[in-house]
Structure formats: C-alpha cells, structure tokens
Amino acid sequence: MTSVRCASEKAMNPTFTMVLCAVALGLPTAGFLVSALSAGKLPRRVVSFLGPGVVLGAFVATLILLAELLAQPPASRGITVAFWHWLNLSVGSGGGAVARSGFNADFSVRIDSLSVLMMLVITGIGGLIHVYSVGYMAEDPGYNRFFAYMNLFITSMLLLVMSENLIFLIIGWSMVAFVSYALIAFWYQRPAAVTAGRKAFITQVIGDVGLVLGAFLIFLNLRGSGGQLLHSVDLQTIFANVGPGAHNQNGLGSMGGGLVTTIGLLLFLGAAAKSAQWPLHTWLPDAMEGPTPVSALIHAATMVTAGVYLVARFHPIYQQAPVAAGVVAAVGIGTALMAAIIGCTQFDIKRVIAYSTMSQIGLMIFAVGAGAYSAGMFQFFTHACFKALLFLAAGNVIHALGDEQDIRSMGGLSTRMKLTFGAFLVGSLALAGIPFFAGWFSKEELLSSGLALGPAVPWLWVLGVAVNVLTSFYIFRVVWMAFRGQPATSRASTAHEARPVMLIPVLLLAVLATVVGFLNIDFFGFHPITVFSEFLQPVVGTPSAHASAGIQALALVIGTLLSLGGLTLVWMVYGRRLIAADLISRHLPWLYQLSLQKFYWDEIYDVTLVRPTVALAATVTQVLEADLFDELVKGVKQGVLTLADDLRTMQTGFFRDYALIFFVCAVIGLVVLGLRLA
C-alpha cells in the first residue's frame, strides 16, 4: 500500500493544490490577525462578516480540494505539498556506526482523503458554528476577541490535520490546546471558567509530553532501507519505513517490539488527553464553562476528535504494536461506558452532552484501536454533525432561558421553540442510533467491525451495545425533561424561538445529521467496502477481517432494538411514569452516587495528585526557600556589603593617594611584565 502511495505522487497538480492549501490556511489566519490586531476597534458589523466569512472561504477551498482528489483514481489520491524549507541541519555523531545524515524539516502539507475529511468537518461545521456565534455572542463585550480566537482555532486545527511534518503537527496540536484554554476561560471574570481553562490546559500539556516523547523516539530510531538512521520527521517517510518490509528488525520494524509499543502508548497519551479519554478525561465536562459555540466546535466536533485522527494517521505504527492498539481499544470502550453511565444522572444540559461526547469519542477510539479506522472516522464524521447540532440547539435553549443550563428548570419548551425542539430531537435520534439517522449507520458499522476482531471480542460488542442503550436513555431523558411536560420556571414558560442567524445553522446541521449516514448505504448489502470507507481506503486500508454477514445482521438487529429499548425506557419513566424515576437511587444508591459524582475521579485526583503537590510545594517553600535559598542570598548580600565597607576607605579624596596607587600598580605591572619577558 505504501509503495502504491509513493509511486503516484505526481498525479495531482502541485501548484494548484498549494494555492488551495494556502487559501485554506491563510484565510482564517488573516481573519485572526485582523480581528486581534484591530484591538476591538473594528466595528461589529465587519467582524460579523469577516469571522464566519474566512472560515466559509476556507470551506470552499476544501471543497475544491475534495473535487480535485475525487477526480483522481483511488490509488493516486494523495499529494504532499512543500511550501518552504523550514530547517536544514546536519546531525549525527560523525563516523562510527551512526552515519552522518541531514535533518530536514519542511513546512509541508499532506492532502489525502483523511486530511481532506478532517478539513471538511473543521471548515464546514466550523463555518456553520461561526455563523451561529454571530447571534449567540451578539451582546457580548468580547465579540471581536471571540472571533479572533475562533479563527485562530480553525487555523491551528487545520495545521494539525494538514501537516505532513511531525514538528508542525505538534505545533498545531499545542496551538489548539492554547486556543481551547483561551476560549474555555473566555469569560475571564468567572472564576469557574478560569479554573476550567487551566485544568484543560494542564491536562493537555500532560498529553503533549507523551506526544513529544513518542515523536523523539520515532526520530531517534527510524531506519531506512540500508539500515541507516533516517532522522526524518516526515510522516510519509516514517510510515514507509515502519512495519513489514522495513529493514530495521531491532527498531520500528519488529512486530510487537518493545520500542514500537512504547511509541504507540506515548502517542496515545497525547491522544487521550486531547480526546478526553480515561485517565485524562476530567477536563472535558468542566470545559462546558466556555460559550456554547465553543463547546460545539472545539469540545464536540473537532479538537476532541484529534486523538482519533492521530491514531488513524499513525495506524502503521499501531498495526505493528498490537499491545498498544489493544490498550487504545480497551481505554476507548471503558471510557465510553463510564461516560455513558455518568451522563444518565447529570442535570446540566451541556454536561450531559459533554459526557455524551466523551462516550462517543470513546467508541471512536475503540474503533481505531481495534483497527477499524474507516468505521472510527465515519463515526467521527457523523458525530461532528449531530453533536454540533445538539450543542447549538442546547445553546438556543440556554440563550432563550437567560443562561439557564439546569434541565430541571426547563420543561415544556417543545411548544414554544418548535424548530429548536425538532433539531434537538433529530440530533438525539442520530446520537441514540435510531434507524436511518446518521448515528445509526456509523455506530452499527463501528460495533460490527469490532465484532470481526477475534474470538475474544463479543464481550467488547456487548459493552458497545450497553453504551448505546445508555446513550439512548440519557439523551431522551434530556429531551423529555427539557422539552416535554410543564414549564418548571417562569422563564421556561415565556421562552421564545431563537433568531434566524442562530436557527439556520441548526437546521442545516439537522439536515446533515439526517442524511450523512447514507454515505455508507452499502452496509445493507453486507459488502465490506462502502462509499465512505472506499474514500478513506487509500490512506487507512481496509480492515483485515470481517464478521460473517449473518452475525453482522444479527448484531445490527439486536443493537437497533436495544437502542429503541432505551428510548422506550425513557418514555416509560418520564413520559408515562410507569417506572419511578428514583428506582435506581432508592434500590442501588451506590450506583446512583457513583454516576452522580462522576466516579469520583476529580476527588481521586485531588487526593492523589493535587494535594500531595500542594503539600510538597508548601514544604519546599518553608524548608528549601526560607532556610536554604533565602539564607544563601542573604549571605551573598552581607559579603558584598562588608567588602564595600572595606573598599570605601580607599576613597580618601586626596589626589596624591590615587596617583600613588596608580604609580605603584604601574610599577608592579611593569615588573611582572619584565619578569615574564626575561
């Protein structure tokens, strides 16, 4: 597969592609610079067109790139465009076993089906969310700052997914973490928002360390066909020299070797932090302190799925490291189940959707860890549509109720916000995997591709189906509590529908969440290749194994019935009240508390990490700082003062003394000089 990719690099027009890439990257950058450097002086009307305009411009460029890509035969779909030579060094120890080799890092981008898919979501969904923000943020004093950050986010995320170079991938990776921090803490007067931003950033940095260490290990150990060290940071070079056929039996080429497993695990540490997977998941629910469009764009549709992208992009490494891939899959499914359980008891509408995001990304991580890259990316694609939809519809509700996020204070909104209700319902149906909505296609494909992995896998499938049932339960619980029944507050009874600028993106996303699933319509024929996976096939290949058609059909029927079962359960609990809502909390209080308190992870981290660190810092302040360093500094100060006092007596003010000192020193110097010459 690798050789096919290399042999067909010439097929696309490099200059035209380069211009399109420059437009896609340049427009949001320009939007950011203009909005940021004008220091709020730019009229809002201009920013309202500039902010969304540049992103939609980048979307158009991406669409042309997609058309260009599709015009090629599948084997030729991929091109590397080098913009400029960024760094050109000579490294190596010079002689010995290590051959001297140059280290070159270009600023280059990779255009293939995987990066174009990501770009489509980033600029397309991102553009819709920008338009929505014009309405949502209309009254905010930080309007220009908001759009500056949002445009910067689009730039950073595009850099992350387009980069052909490990270094620029890491730069983009860190930039999105910064923008995420800046936007979570956007309302910087709120202490909770600032704390949440800090928490998110610190967690991201823990992941960054893993990613960077993994990159170093690749850089130091990658060997070419002659066994020489390559010292390359070029992704295609890395992938071409990893895996079967690579000539480095002791390094990255050995199947399941310790090195490649370590690299896989380190990269996954980065992916887990970015994608809010256990054990680095606690920042995502807190991140909901940010404005709702931010939650939709960064913490649902794009940034948090960067971990999925990373694993899919580095699949040649994970194919060499079954242990690391197994860890990825296990962490993914575990996080998915845990987040789904937590989602069932939360009352903050955004937090429920946030846990749902964590859970859905867990499923994607499970898929890419299990080798079903196409299924994972398809879930990413549909999820971006329906999760952005859910967040924006929830944003409409929050906006209409004056920043109320507790679903217990809502109720009865379906009559007053009909379109928003319809959109939220479509999003929920898609999320829950109800037939013929987007999520149904992606999830059933994802779960059945997991089934194909081997004899040990059925229980993973059972866990996946359990996640689905819980998903269906918690999202329809929100639908019932927020939109059905009687208004719980006066605000809820007087709520009115959102402005068109906020409604139109929501409705467009509702259409998308309904139709994008049909890209994988071939699923019905139990045919292994579908439109979507055919598109991704040049990059990620096809899954090596498939369950038989009969098992897939059975899994499909059972999974769908259970999703519908979750919906029915909600209807019985909250609609007809056939089952008491406090059944679990009365009979299994420990389970209810576990879910309500989010499995106590925040408390666990507080006790095991935060408090020891604070205690250590206090000790250092007292012992090292006060008793050692302060005393050292004081000693130096005292020494200087004493010396100065002694030297001051030389300043007699008599000219002759100075002249004498001068002459004596001159004579001594001459004598020393004479002795040395002699």
Nearest to another protein of 633, 670 (CB atom): 670
For the bound state, the minimum distance from the C-beta of residue 671 to another protein, rounded and expressed in Å, comes to 15
Nearest to another protein of 95, 653 (CB atom): 653
With H, G, I as helix, E, B as strand and everything else as coil, classify residue 521.
Answer: helix
Angle ∠(366,372,375) on CA atoms, nearest 5:
90
Nearest to another protein of 600, 663 (CB atom): 663
Total number of residues that touch another protein (CB under 8 A): 12
* Cβ within 8 Å of residue 456, ≥6 positions away: none
For the bound state, the minimum distance from the C-beta of residue 641 to another protein, rounded and expressed in Å, comes to 15
With H, G, I as helix, E, B as strand and everything else as coil, classify residue 394.
Answer: helix
Q: Which two tokens stand for residue 452?
A: 């194909």
Q: How does 585-602 read in b/e, with b if 16+ C-beta sit within 10 Å?
A: eeeeeeebebbeebbeee
Nearest to another protein of 3, 651 (CB atom): 651
For the bound state, the minimum distance from the C-beta of residue 656 to another protein, rounded and expressed in Å, comes to 5
For the bound state, the minimum distance from the C-beta of residue 649 to another protein, rounded and expressed in Å, comes to 7
For the bound state, the minimum distance from the C-beta of residue 646 to another protein, rounded and expressed in Å, comes to 11
Nearest to another protein of 529, 660 (CB atom): 660
**HSE (side-chain half, CA atoms, 13 Å) at 571:** 6
For the bound state, the minimum distance from the C-beta of residue 655 to another protein, rounded and expressed in Å, comes to 5
Beta-ladder partners of 81: 109
Nearest to another protein of 524, 662 (CB atom): 662
With H, G, I as helix, E, B as strand and everything else as coil, classify residue 89.
Answer: strand
Nearest to another protein of 604, 661 (CB atom): 661
With H, G, I as helix, E, B as strand and everything else as coil, classify residue 530.
Answer: coil
CB atoms within 10 A of CB 330: 17
For the bound state, the minimum distance from the C-beta of residue 672 to another protein, rounded and expressed in Å, comes to 19
267, 279, 335, 675 from 272: Cα distances, Å: 9, 8, 10, 73
Beta-ladder partners of 223: 229
Residue 654 CA to residue 16 CA, distance in Å, equals 82
Backbone angles phi, psi at 110, to 5 degrees: -115, 120
Structural element, H or E, at residue 497:
none
For the chain, the helix, strand and coil percentages under 3-state DSSP, each to the nearest 5: 75, 5, 20
For the bound state, the minimum distance from the C-beta of residue 657 to another protein, rounded and expressed in Å, comes to 9
Residue 455 in the binding site for another protein (CB under 8 A): no
Binding mask 237-276 for another protein (x = CB under 8 A): ----------------------------------------
Give Cα 397 to chain centroid, integer Å.
26
Nearest to another protein of 496, 656 (CB atom): 656
Angle between helices 418-432 and 549-570 (to 10 degrees): 140
**Residue 212 buriedness (CB in 10 A; 0-12 / 13-18 / 19+):** middle
For the bound state, the minimum distance from the C-beta of residue 643 to another protein, rounded and expressed in Å, comes to 14
Nearest to another protein of 39, 650 (CB atom): 650
Nearest to another protein of 39, 677 (CB atom): 677
Nearest to another protein of 515, 660 (CB atom): 660
For the bound state, the minimum distance from the C-beta of residue 667 to another protein, rounded and expressed in Å, comes to 10
Nearest to another protein of 650, 678 (CB atom): 650
Residue 336 CA to residue 462 CA, distance in Å, equals 12
Nearest to another protein of 614, 659 (CB atom): 659
Q: How does 453-491 read in b/e, with b if 16+ C-beta sit within 10 Å?
A: beeebeebbebbbbbbbbbbbbbbbbbbbbbbeebbeee
Binding mask 604-643 for another protein (x = CB under 8 A): ----------------------------------------
What residues from 639 to 668 belong to the interface with another protein (CB under 8 A)? 648-656, 659-660, 663
Give the residue ranges of DSSP H helices in 137-256: 143-162, 166-184, 191-221, 235-240
Of residues 361, 408, 405, the one with CA closest to residue 383: 361
For the bound state, the minimum distance from the C-beta of residue 83 to another protein, rounded and expressed in Å, comes to 60
Per the CB < 8 A criterion, the answer to whether 176 and 156 are in contact is yes
For the bound state, the minimum distance from the C-beta of residue 103 to another protein, rounded and expressed in Å, comes to 54
For the bound state, the minimum distance from the C-beta of residue 674 to another protein, rounded and expressed in Å, comes to 14
3-state secondary structure 428-463: HHHHHCCCCCHHHHHHHHHHHHHHCCCCCCHHHHHH
Binding mask 131-150 for another protein (x = CB under 8 A): --------------------
Residue 613 CA to residue 651 CA, distance in Å, equals 53
For the bound state, the minimum distance from the C-beta of residue 650 to another protein, rounded and expressed in Å, comes to 8
Residue 116 CA to residue 607 CA, distance in Å, equals 44
Residue 569 CA to residue 579 CA, distance in Å, equals 9
366, 367, 554, 557, 602 from 447: Cα distances, Å: 9, 8, 12, 12, 30
Nearest to another protein of 544, 651 (CB atom): 651
For the bound state, the minimum distance from the C-beta of residue 642 to another protein, rounded and expressed in Å, comes to 15
CB atoms within 10 A of CB 678: 5
Nearest to another protein of 49, 658 (CB atom): 658
* Cβ within 8 Å of residue 8, ≥6 positions away: 75, 76, 78
Nearest to another protein of 490, 651 (CB atom): 651
For the bound state, the minimum distance from the C-beta of residue 637 to another protein, rounded and expressed in Å, comes to 21
- Given the rule CB under 8 A, which residues bind another protein? 648-656, 659-660, 663
